[in-house]
Chain A
Amino acid sequence: MLAQQLINGVLLGASYALFALGFTLMFGVLRVINLTYGFYFSAGAFAALFLTRDAGLGIWAALPLAAVTAGLIAVALDWLLLAPLRRKRAPELASLMVTLGGVLALYSAATAILGPDIRRLPPGLVDGTVFELAGLRVATPQLFILVASFVLVGALVWLLNFTRLGLAIRAMAENPDAAGLMGIDTGRTAALVSFVAGCLAGAGGVLIGLNFNAIHPYMGESMMLRGFVVVIVGGLGDIRGALIAGLALGVVEVLTAGYVDSGLKEAVAFAILVAVLWTRPSGLFGRPALRRA
């Protein structure tokens, strides 16, 4: 029983980690809390819905296409909302506010156009087989998310550490002005980071839509709370921290639901967030990020 709960928790946590990955990447490099992030997630899920249901594509073709769609939306929104503020060197809260307004407009426009109801992906997209190993049960879509999270984290770490683009991104995360002086095109790098983050969110939306089989315009918003908990506990901008914190959060939620009360899952998650803010505001694995003088 406990072993099954732990497995379920890890599988749930993998989806949280997947969701938080791009969010923490954006903060780490661009130094903005980009709240339109949740919308890329919804957009990815809807793109997959239209591609599979209306265009008749299989999931393997739909997944990358949906991810790229979300990535392009992310680039467009970054250019429209955040690039002007970066040029003006506006304070970080201005960027936060602009994405807040943007995401409210996007969610409510999407709801007005698509309707608020919950959609389902066409049946039979993925094999619904449930694996059983030593009495532990794992469904295929869950396994899919777990594998995808690790593959995407691996790809991200590789991109950041072993490519020229990764070098530019890390330079910009360290010091945007110096990166600019060294000939790095910061505008282009920002667009690429947005694209990568948007792709991650879009892929997350497809996979999680697949797992819970529920797609609606506000699905990204309802993930945001988990996203916040994961990035704060893992440390803002810390990719490895986000992966660990995501898995841990999944386990905590499943255990809370199993042994305490399923209605308190969110409350426990939030209590952890507040506890971390009181004790280790830089995240469990991070350096102190106290206000600079």
Chain B
Amino acid sequence: MTTLLRTLALTLHYAGLFAVDRVDLNVQPGSVHALIGPNGAGKTTLFNLISGLVAPTEGTVLFRGLDVTSLPADRRTALGLARTFQTSRIFGAMTVLENVLTGLQPRCFAGLIATVLRTPAFYREERALVARARDTLHMVGLSARADLPAATLPHGEQRLLEIARAIAPEPALLLLDEPAAGMNPAETAALANLVRRIRDLGTSVLLVEHDMGFVMDISDAVTVLNFGRCIFQGTPAAARQAPEVMEAYLGQKVAARLAARAPRMTV
């Protein structure tokens, strides 16, 4: 089996800093792959490079064996790449169902003329899309909310909606940016189950997450970033033992403790 997502020496030079520095990442099909590292390590930036929202300074992104480095984000989505955002970016003015339908754009083929003339083919496609969207909402447990305005959902459900919107077209790879942030333990456990089900249905998952229990629980592979560099790649169990990983995290904890003790700087 070929590697699903591969980055080769991916680099982003930004304002004199290497936000991402020669990262080689390999995500295997059928896996849940975690991307961890201290704050500011470049995880979200790497997501933006992979999904095509930011162009790299150097390096290559290969997705399903294709060089997608110069493709815009919407073309990568059409190839089967999906993502969520760190702070959820649902379409608040739409209903929950309409959000998921919007996620199904890669599955929409009716042209302008068929749409205006309301051909039978148009209705057939539209019915299939709505059915698929309802199935997806059922899978994440939001069926009862389908017709509510999305902005009225509580935080945890908005995060689930964003995942539903991303997985509706059955992408090959789903990027989740801190999916468990702001969730209580019960919600996090449910999320872990959902991620496993997504993987079992054939979508690989690459996720950024700070909740280490969650990461160790569901990941098949772990990549650790620090200062934009990849410092470790392996299994979760190996990551736990690796001294360089300890150091990256410990360094940050010590620094955080020192900062907490120091008087607040005033400007």
Dominant secondary structure at the A interface: loop
B interface residues, how many (CB within 8 angstroms): 5
In the complex, A182 has a CB within 8 A of chain B:
yes
Query: How many Å from the CB of B108 to the closest CB on chain A?
Result: 23
B267 touches A293 (CB 8 A): no
Chain B, residues 22-58, CB within 8 Å of chain A (1/0): the string is 0000000000000000000000000010000110000
A interface residues, how many (CB within 8 angstroms): 4
CA distance A181 to B54 in the complex (A): 27
CA distance A183 to B48 in the complex (A): 32
Which A residues lie within 8 Å of B267 (CB)?
181-183
Query: How many Å from the CB of B47 to the closest CB on chain A?
Result: 12
Q: Which of A181, A182, A293 is close to B48, meaning CB atoms less than 8 Å apart? A: A293
Dominant secondary structure at the B interface: loop
Query: How many Å from the CB of A164 to the closest CB on chain B?
Result: 15
Chain B, residues 59-90, CB within 8 Å of chain A (1/0): the string is 00000000000000100000000000000000
Which B residues lie within 8 Å of A182 (CB)?
267
CA distance A132 to B48 in the complex (A): 63
Enumerate A101-149 residues with CB–CB distance to B below 8 Å.
Answer: none
Enumerate A180-208 residues with CB–CB distance to B below 8 Å.
Answer: 181-183
Enumerate A143-187 residues with CB–CB distance to B below 8 Å.
Answer: 181-183
CA distance A293 to B53 in the complex (A): 6
Which A residues lie within 8 Å of B48 (CB)?
293
Enumerate A265-293 residues with CB–CB distance to B below 8 Å.
Answer: 293
CA distance A102 to B48 in the complex (A): 39
Query: How many Å from the CB of A53 to the closest CB on chain B?
Result: 52
CA distance A288 to B132 in the complex (A): 42
Of the candidates A181, A182, A183, A293, the one having the most CB atoms from chain B within 10 angstroms of its own CB is: A293
CA distance A293 to B48 in the complex (A): 9
Which A residues lie within 8 Å of B73 (CB)?
293
Which A residues lie within 8 Å of B53 (CB)?
293
Which B residues lie within 8 Å of A181 (CB)?
267
Q: Which chain A residue shows the least CB distance to B53? A: A293
A-B contact pairs, 7 of them (CB 8 A): A181-B267, A182-B267, A183-B267, A293-B48, A293-B53, A293-B54, A293-B73
Interface residues of B (CB under 8 A from A): 48, 53-54, 73, 267
